[in-house]
């Protein structure tokens, strides 16, 4: 019997609590690019941070959009006026597009670019109507007065 490694799912799904949703999304067989590298942190309960290494990009060359629970980060470098000659090119300043699937009620609350790292802060805000309620045992039942 083969063991299924689900750790790749946690790299791009933030805030999902239902394993079935993640397995369904993984079965779509979409390839995720490996550039730029990124981290996903759990800062507090219901607070997350995505940190992407975007060396060589300025804030005007980065675009962050959220559409239907998909966070899309795009980096576009304009064409260079002068061609540079590299002896070694280890910093890849290529254009990219990275997508992250967000769980229900996960919102982007801010973004910041410092020292070549793009930080995107996320927070899950569950509406009061969806939060669990505690029901006291032995409590008095209220009669329905709408009849």
The tens digit of pLDDT for each residue in 92-108 reads: 778 899 988 888 888 89
Domain coordinates of the chain in residue numbers?
7-127
Q: Using CA atoms, how far apart are residues 106 and 132, in angstroms rounded to an integer?
A: 18
pLDDT for 24: 56
Asked if residue 72 lies in contact with residue 92, where contact means CB atoms within 8 angstroms, the answer is no
* Percent of all residues in the chain with a pLDDT value above 90, rounded to a whole number: 26
Q: Using CA atoms, how far apart are residues 18 and 40, in angstroms rounded to an integer?
A: 18
- CATH of region 7-127: 2.60.40.790
The tens digit of pLDDT for each residue in 47-96 reads: 999 999 998 888 899 999 998 888 999 999 887 656 778 888 887 778 89
Kindly report the three-state secondary structure assignment for every residue of 82-129. Answer: CCCCCCCCCCCCCCEEEEEEECCCEEEEEEEEECCEEEEEEEECCCHH
- Residue with tokens 């990219």, as numbered in its chain: 96
């Amino acid at each position: 019997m083969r063991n299924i490694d689900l750790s790749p799912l946690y790299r791009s799904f933030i805030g999902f609590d239902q394993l079935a949703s993640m397995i369904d999304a993984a079965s779509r067989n979409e390839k995720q690019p490996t550039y730029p590298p990124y981290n996903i942190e759990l800062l507090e309960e219901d607070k997350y941070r995505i940190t992407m290494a975007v060396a060589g990009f300025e804030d005007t060359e980065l675009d962050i959009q959220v559409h239907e629970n998909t966070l899309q980060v795009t980096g576009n470098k304009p064409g260079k006026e002068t061609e540079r000659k590299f002896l070694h090119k280890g910093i890849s300043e290529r254009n990219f597009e990275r997508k992250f699937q967000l769980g229900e009620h996960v919102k982007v609350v801010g973004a910041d670019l410092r020292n070549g790292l793009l930080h995107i802060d996320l927070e899950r805000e569950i509406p009061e109507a969806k939060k669990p309620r505690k029901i006291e045992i032995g409590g008095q039942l209220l009669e329905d007065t709408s009849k």
